[in-house]
Structure 1
């Protein structure tokens, strides 16, 4: 071996440099090119007896610059892909060059790297049909070969530390799946686990981590990386999504690329620098080059992208524009690149759904890369930020109901109108009569709001499947009366008539509904909450349940609210007798309706009107209202 230097010098480098996590987010140019004038490690082939396979097997072992049998080393087991063997990394990945260069810069903790053959069978060559069942099975069998044969051999032959804190496993493609399967399945053996472009052999997240709390306690680092154009990225993302939901610290690293060694070499460069050092898990969300395309993007659109720390990258092509901004309530100035694309990275955004627009030379437009939603009084773009507690509106393997659109002619408005209606699983095959919730949108929205932005069908599907809510129909009507505003006495009265004289009769004539106030509920958000107050409290002979989300009488509506308070005072015994539940919810003090609501509740207290109150922090936003629906519907029709 050439240019060997004393191990003491390596230790000094480690002492002064290696306790820092990587300061870069991708490998620099030349990271995999051999440099002269620096110390080099050594790669040897070793043979070990495998009782698992019943033969002698081979592996490559990299020992670092200054290697000495008088010292103890940590170990990284580095696994190949389905078409490779123990030499795949050596020939294509240049690990010895990558690691030598990192050692020379003082960026690695001393370790040896073992590159085994992960195909645990007697004929372990990558020949013939590499996808044959016996060869694929051999990759699973390797777990026993690794744990029972190879690791004991390495720990006997080399001066290595033999505790889990000094043992890591990582691999590419099939080897990435093995690393996640074996590493997370043996947390008593490995504290550092990395999967590069992990293949379909990767177990489901629930199988990988049936006990997330144990993983949190034992793992030093869990690394998941992939190229953004890799067809196998879904296996990495499903693992990341589960880890995110269960709050298991990890790095989800996405970079430009496909399923090749450009990506995997960069993965080794980044992953190896974390190993066997103190780590700061709070910094993990920052270690990625690209974000994940938002779920609200149109099909195949790469942008907007959401980073793990909830920053968002927006990108739009407008080569002739003079100024482009993203309007998310706060306006972000975008910067044009040489190709005519405008780009910006936002601050970390709140979880859940947000409306946004592009402002191109001052004109508000929908982003062509985003799905559009009717909100803010017009069609706008929307972006969904991953929500750790949002599993209640995730698509799950449960029976699903339908959302249907129905047109009806309204004698109240003398026009054709429409509503959306959720029917629960099994509705068409059942003869049962169902209770109904009439659910109202906010100002600037319409009947599509709860059906689309609100995720009503998924919330109801999951609640019903869990036995937490009764099967019910949910009617999402249009609360816009076309009379120049939603808050005057005239407009509120027109809404009340539309609800009572047009919508309810049509629904009850065309769907199987149980009749009477005990089987009807009325609820709404913001403007819909005011409509619920106006039409609900006066009609407790129609509605036994009322839900008011992020709402309260406005100061400008004092004459209407005073009339309602007077009505409550004069009819309190009948209201209390008829009304099974008045449920009022706010989005915390940051909700713009908070003070109006508190003033209204103080009047209710003076009148001795019974109600239940709930706060879910988040402001005047869809994440709050989704949670309101999730919390309110289990209380209905008991």
Structure 2
């Protein structure tokens, strides 16, 4: 993987996915409600209509409790205060970006998950999650529409000497018409996440269901698999080698999917997309394997240059996106250059978000209608 691509990714990732405290902020509105991703029956954490988050942790013998949500307090977190009832309580110093965020709790130096919140795999561990209501959240809401299916598959991988896991989204009606075939998007997660991220944190299945119900897209399959074949720690992306995962994806997973699902098993019927590190994987693999995919999408995961692409005729779409708090000008400039070179290239900037899942949810919503036309 090229060093300049690595540098670009870290440039994206170093943009905080949290909004920082604002000076002269308005008074906090006391309309707090439990986060929608709390454990069943748990009142905390809570969020309000302004985007503030409020926490309550039971640690009666603790000396210090800090929530790592990025606003106020020591070390960039929210420092909780011990109340008379013995519970540790606190509110972020400012509103958060809309959408989903990972966090954890540090109690006397030890790192724990919040017992009140559901856990999501991110940062190479199961982390607590919180959802700040978004003004446009309707597009990924659970609605009374026909729903597709997200199923786990285990596919043989000779190159890694094991069976590997993937999740496959099949659209509503897939199992009814046995003669119909579908294009496929191979959709990759970010660093420290796994194949559960796009459905659990990204709600990609609900985005698909809603778009299909509205008649905005042609149905297609989505395949999500684990993108790490050599484990690396934070800051060690330069040691990541694409070849082992490329083998798993191109030589093992794709043939398995084509053999076991009703797919359009041609480059015209395949797309590859990814967020952050998954975008870097997409960038490298699509360039290395121009005969496999025809639609490319990088979501906060770098850009393409015309001179990198060997055969223009094989590329049907290039989609590049990021949040407005990342590097939007770089995305816009790259797409402008691609268009000037004759490519069908599209940029999308998620307003008011950074390197976080609302950026990628919105990006996928914009990408899906452009695929397989």
TM-score by length of 2: 0.84
For 2:292, the equivalent position in structure 1 comes to 542
Structure 1 CA distance for aligned equivalents of residues 111 and 48 of structure 2: 25
CA 293–515 in structure 1, closer or farther in 2 if over 3 Å, else same: same
Deviations 1:393-436 (A, max 9, x none): 00111100111111122112122210111111111222111111
Residue 42 (structure 2) aligns with: 301
On the 8 A contact 1:469/1:634 being kept in 2, the answer is yes
Name 2:6's counterpart in structure 1: none
Aligned residue-pair number: 339
- Partner Cα distance (1:598, 1:444) in 2: 27
Alignment correspondent of 1:358 = 105
Query: Is the partner of 1:521 in helix, strand or coil?
Result: strand
What are the ranges of 5 or more consecutive residues in structure 2 without an aligned counterpart? 1-25, 71-75
Which deviates more, 447-456 or 424-433?
Answer: 424-433
Partner of residue 583 from structure 1, selected from 294, 316, 319: 319
Q: Helix, strand or coil for the counterpart of 2:372?
A: coil
| Secondary structure at 2:43 match in 1 | coil
* Aligned residue number for residue 67 of structure 2: 326
**Are 1:626 and 2:361 counterparts?**
yes
- Please list, as runs of the form range in 1=range in 2, the aligned pairs for 1:12-411 lying within 5 A after superposition: 288=30, 291-329=32-70, 330-346=76-92, 347-411=94-158
Displacement of 1:291 in angstroms is: 1.4
Q: Distance in 1 between matches of 2:288 and 2:134?
A: 38
Is residue 412–residue 501 contact of structure 1 (8 Å, CA) maintained in 2? no
Q: Which has the larger radius of gyration?
A: 1
Flag the 1:491–1:296 CA change in 2: closer, same or farther, 3 A.
Answer: same
Structure 1: runs of 5 or more not aligned:
1-282, 554-560
Task: Give the Cα separation in 1 of the matches to 2:190 and 2:132.
Answer: 21
**1:613 corresponds to:** 347
Contact in 2 for aligned 1:441/1:479 (Cα 8 Å):
yes
Shift of residue 540 of structure 1? Answer: 2.9
| Conserved 8 A contact 1:550-1:594 | no
2:205 match:
457
Shift, 1:633, TM fit: 0.7
Q: Distance in 2 between matches of 1:519 and 1:407?
A: 22
Between 1 and 2, higher relative CO (CA 8 Å, sep ≥ 6) is seen in: 2
Name the structure where helix makes up a greater proportion of residues: 1
Whether the 8 Å CA contact 1:545–1:579 is kept in 2: the answer is yes
Equivalent position of 2:227 in the other structure? 479
Contact 1:551 1:596 in 2 (8 A): no
Determine helix, strand or coil for the equivalent of 1:433. coil
Query: CA-atom RMSD, angstroms?
Result: 2.5
Helix, strand or coil at the partner of 1:514: coil
Task: Determine the C-alpha separation between the residues in 1 that align with 2:161 and 2:232.
Answer: 17
Q: 1:489 to 1:314 in 2, by over 3 A?
A: closer
Shift of 1:601: 5.9
The worse-fitting range, judged by mean Cα deviation, of 543-552 and 608-617 is 608-617
**8 A contact 2:29–2:50 mirrored in 1:** no
Aligned position for 2:279 = 529
Deviations 1:460-484 (A, max 9, x none): 0000011111111100111111243
Give the superposition deviation at 1:502.
1.1
